[in-house]
């Protein structure tokens, strides 16, 4: 798949088929995703990939993050109540995704902002590689509100949760949200 096509064609997927995702495909996606740049080349990203019954239990915990984002969601989408309803349903099962990826960083002597950007670079690569493999993803920070509960369940210590990413074969083809114009200014050109 052409890079431009991949970037433009990737969508956030919020409804998944139950079909299992072969571990080899996930390994292939991570192999390419971790060619991302990282602050001071520390590569201090850390991913946990969960499936099966363990995933079901994780989803139950992660879905509790919804109550924290609901007030903001209702405000931002005041004119579009169906978006709030849809999001509520999506959080309850994370779209039925067969696999959940959790993206962390290990703290370093660098500023936290740098580590967050390091993980974000790898996440975007991951999303694009997954798309190239016919898989859908949704980058989510809502569940990070319940990071302590998630970490306890996964027995993860001394790492910071940045995002969680449900991944699986898409069961929807959402329309691309329009991109805002005028978000780039050029200076010093002819
Ligand atoms: C940092 C970040 C956090 C996000 N958190 C959520 C989330 O918690 N729940 C959700 O449904 N989508 C979440 N999204 C997905 C965005 O809603 C989505 O990218 C946006 O609507 C544009 O749609 P597209 O990804 O299909 O282009 C997040 C995206 C980013 C980059």
CATH number of the domain to which 27 belongs: 3.40.109.10
Q: 58 in a domain, yes or no? A: yes
- The structure's pTM equals 0.97
Q: Which domain holds residue 62?
A: 19-168
Q: 152 in a domain, yes or no? A: yes
Confidence (pLDDT) at 1: 85
User: How far is ligand 1, taken at its centre, from the CA of residue 13, in Å?
Assistant: 9
- The answer to whether 91 and 70 have CB atoms below 8 angstroms apart is no
Confidence (pLDDT) at 93: 97
Per the prediction, the chain carries an average pLDDT of 97
Among 100, 141, 178, 179, the mutation site with the greatest number of ligand 1 atoms within 8 A of its Cβ is 141
The sheet carrying 136-137 orders its strands as 45-51, 99-105, 160-168, 136-137
Domains held by the chain: number: 1
Averaged over 146-162, what is the pLDDT?
A: 97
* Alpha carbon nearest to ligand 1 atom 22, residue: 177
- pLDDT value at 32 more than 90: yes
- pLDDT value at 190 more than 90: no
Give the up-direction half-sphere exposure of residue 178: CA atoms within 13 A in the CB hemisphere.
Answer: 3
Q: 114 in a domain, yes or no? A: yes
């Amino acid at each position: 798949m052409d890079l431009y096509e991949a970037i433009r064609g990737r969508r956030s997927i919020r409804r998944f088929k139950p079909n299992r995702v072969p571990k080899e495909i996930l390994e292939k996606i991570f192999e390419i995703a971790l060619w991302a740049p990282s602050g001071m080349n520390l590569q201090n990203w850390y991913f946990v990939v969960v499936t099966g019954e363990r995933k079901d239990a994780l989803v139950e915990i992660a879905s509790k993050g919804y109550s924290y984002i609901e007030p903001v969601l209702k405000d931002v989408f005041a004119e579009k109540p169906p978006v709030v309803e849809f999001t509520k349903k999506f959080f309850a099962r994370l779209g039925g995704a067969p696999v959940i990826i959790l993206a962390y960083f290990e703290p370093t002597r660098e500023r936290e902002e740098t580590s967050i950007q390091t993980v974000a670079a790898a996440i975007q690569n991951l999303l694009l590689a997954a798309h190239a493999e016919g898989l859908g993803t949704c980058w989510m920070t809502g569940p990070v509100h319940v990071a302590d509960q998630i970490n306890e369940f996964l027995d993860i210590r001394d790492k910071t949760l940045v995002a969680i990413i449900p991944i699986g074969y898409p069961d929807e083809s959402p329309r691309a949200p329009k991109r805002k114009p005028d978000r780039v200014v050029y200076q010093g050109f002819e």
